[in-house]
Chain A
């Protein structure tokens, strides 16, 4: 128990010391908590949604545990942080919220499922390209994919 409390204290202090949270260790923790969230909402998601979302977390984990994870470009870490804390949870929560609002047998969820699959497929492809660009140290491609993710899934500047 004392060890657990100590670990919790350390993680809390680390979160305070690292507010942006895009160090590799904290990204791995966020990945793990995102996996927990995906698994626990698997009852509300379509199976293809779970599979695709877990494919995204697999790719992220692969990037974060690769040999040169310590030398990851800051752009990659920011994009991964956005994916883990905003883009992917946002897609899932929006779907679950829509399904719960519709109620059992309320609406045919085909359109919502299609939208979720499209978002997750795009997210997965972008993260994979980001990982590939990171591996090849392709700076321009890195910037392009990071910006694409931001534009596609981030908060729009036009939102009021």
Chain B
């Protein structure tokens, strides 16, 4: 009920706000409305009271700006702000009393103004280098660190020995086509390859033949694993953060056959990683890849240690993967 009376009251109030106040007491069917009319009549005065503090407030941002310039030229009206900021301007004459009251309210706001002052003095030089450098075409260009690592030409073969374990692909090689890893051993069924990876949005997962063939998202896979090898779709290099290529022996004795793992790029560059024959604990890390500013840096690990798949993943910092057992990830 009260709500229903409120609604016509609001309508009447809006009408009277649009009209001048004097007709409002003339129309007074009920004492409630008369009270309402009185309150409405008071509202302009209240708004006038509100406007009174509002008026000095636009005047004070200039005073704050005057405070910033106060060390150079102390201005007369800036009393409170000058007290806030420095001892340099105490001899300034006192201003009018109503601004003094509003200046007390501004005194609480002054913590908001010093950041502005410091932004004028200090942040501007710090923000200037923080802005990413822009190319003449307006694209943001990431920082470019020359890594000074060995590169590889198109069509070149490179055995990744222990003394030369690193190859840095160029941006073109890192972004075109794909990366194919295959095993060259006498009996290809004795070993399978898999990839554990972290994507750009910090998700870690794993592809392994027979377990999860495609990742991270089967609808838009970047990594594929089949029994003949693994492939990385480099068109989505920007979604890749890092990866590890590992070999898993399929024999029950977990004996790894000797041979070579080849990794080919789109330009038919071929990296050759030796596969050392010997017993393992279930998996052997072969190659790591890190995407640095759009370039893929590949390194043959020549890891002297093998381990279960879980241990291998943990040793290379992939700890966000859950496991059914030490050999089987939960993907």
Chain A interfacial positions (CB closer than 8 Å to B) = 32, 36, 39-44, 47-48, 50-52, 54-55, 58, 62, 65, 117, 121
Contacts and interface: CB of A to CB of B under 8 A. Distances in A.
A42 B242 contact: yes
Given A32-B304, A42-B242, A43-B198, A51 B317 contact: no
Interface of B: 145, 147-149, 163, 165-166, 198, 204, 241-242, 288, 290-293, 297, 299, 304, 314-320
Nearest to A45: B317
Given A51-B297, A55-B147, A36 B315 contact: yes
A65 B292 CA distance: 28
Contacts of A32: 304
Contact of A51 (B147, B304, B315, B319): B147
A54 B299 CA distance: 10
B145 A42 contact: no
B39 to A, nearest CB: 50
Given A52-B147, A58-B166, A47 B291 contact: yes
B224 to A, nearest CB: 22
Contact of A58 (B165, B198, B291): B165
Given A48-B145, A51-B149, A58-B165, A42 B317 contact: yes
Contacts of B198: 43
Most buried by B among A44, A48, A117: A48
A43 B319 contact: yes
A48 B293 contact: yes
A61 to B, nearest CB: 9
Contact of A41 (B163, B299, B317): B317
Given A51-B149, A58-B166, A40 B316 contact: yes
Contacts of B204: 43
A52 B158 CA distance: 21
B290 A43 contact: no
Nearest to B163: A62
Contact of B317 (A44, A52, A54, A62): A44
Contacts of A40: 314-317
Contacts of B166: 54-55, 58
Given A40-B316, A50-B242, A117-B145, 12 more contacts: A32-B304, A39-B315, A39-B317, A42-B242, A42-B316, A43-B317, A43-B320, A44-B317, A47-B241, A51-B149, A51-B292, A65-B163
Contacts of B299: 54
Contacts of B293: 48
Contact of A47 (B290, B314, B316, B318): B290
B126 to A, nearest CB: 11
A1 to B, nearest CB: 14
Contacts of B290: 42, 47-48, 50-51
Given A32-B304, A117-B145, A48 B316 contact: no
A7 B251 CA distance: 29
A25 B304 CA distance: 16
A55 B299 CA distance: 10
A39 to B, nearest CB: 5
A36 B241 CA distance: 20
Nearest to B242: A47
Contacts of A47: 241-242, 290-292, 297
